[in-house]
Every structure is written in C-alpha cells, then in structure tokens.
Amino acid sequence: AAGEIGDLQSRLTILNLKPESERDEDYKKKIESVTSEILQRRKTLIEKETSYMTLFNHTADIKAQNRAILWYVLNLTQFKDNSKKNAEFEWLFPGKTFEAKEAAMFDYEENKNEIYEKCYSKLASIISYWFFTSNTEKEEFDRIIGEIDGTIPTE
C-alpha cells in the first residue's frame, strides 16, 4: 500500500508540472482523481496501522495483566499442612524474588506437585476476579470458589 501511494504521488507530481493555464477539464479531473486515490489509500493505510497498533497494545496489556496476576499468586499464597502437629502457614512458592518463586512454580508444574495442581487455577481465577473488578465482598469470592469446586451451580 505504501508503494502504491508513492507511485500515485509521483504521478501527481508529474501531472502538476503542467502549468495550470494549460490544463483542460479532463486534465484537472485526472489530478483530482489521483489526489482522491492518494487520500483514500492513505486513509486505508492509517486504518491498518491503527488496527495493528491496537492489536499490539492489547497484546502487551494482556501480557502485563497476566504477569501482575501471576505476581499476586506467587507472592500472596500460603498453605497450612494440617497433617503436621502445630502446623504453621508456609509460602507455597518459596524464594525471595519473583524469579525464584516463578522457578518454584515451574518446578511444581513439571513434578506434578499435588498442592499446586489442586489450587493454582482456583487461585488464578480468584485473583483475576479481584484484579478486574471492584467487588471485594467475601460472599462473592465464596460463590466463585463454590462454582470452581462444583458445590454451587454456575449462573
């Protein structure tokens, strides 16, 4: 499309070389036609570029949102092993940095960690709901957990 615009622009430049006093109506219509075609092609090109920019921005936004949700999951998740006497809450994803916690998550995925497999999608769903809505009512989270667990029918 950009090459076609360049060709049309060259054609318009050549047409405009003829002095205005020597241009008849057909010649003026050619100039108008080429000018109109250039404008139409530019409009189409701008629309495509805008569409691509929107797509790329949307993709970048989604990636950033997913990373933020992952950050919350990795940094806020604790569990308590009730099979142990005097059990205390422990971090599900050990490590001091995001990267270390993420590495632990990948290790859990690879080794089919039972706790991780039982809770990760539930955690991601709950945190996503919290992240994307302003509703922080306990009842709403209980309903979502019930729907995920299958104890409450989905709406």
The per-residue pLDDT string of the chain (155 residues; one tens digit each, 9 = 90 and over) reads 678 888 899 999 999 999 999 999 999 999 999 999 988 888 888 888 877 777 777 788 888 888 999 999 999 999 888 888 888 999 999 999 999 999 999 999 999 988 888 888 888 888 888 888 876 788 888 888 888 777 776 65
CB atoms within 10 A of CB 66: 12
Cβ burial 105-137 (10 Å sphere, 16+ → b, else e): beebeeeebeebeebbeebbebbbebeeeeeee
What's the one-letter identity of residue 150?
Answer: G
pLDDT for 75 equals 96
pLDDT for 36 equals 92
**C-beta separation of 91 from 77 below 8 A:** yes
Domains of the chain: which residue ranges?
Answer: 2-59, 77-149
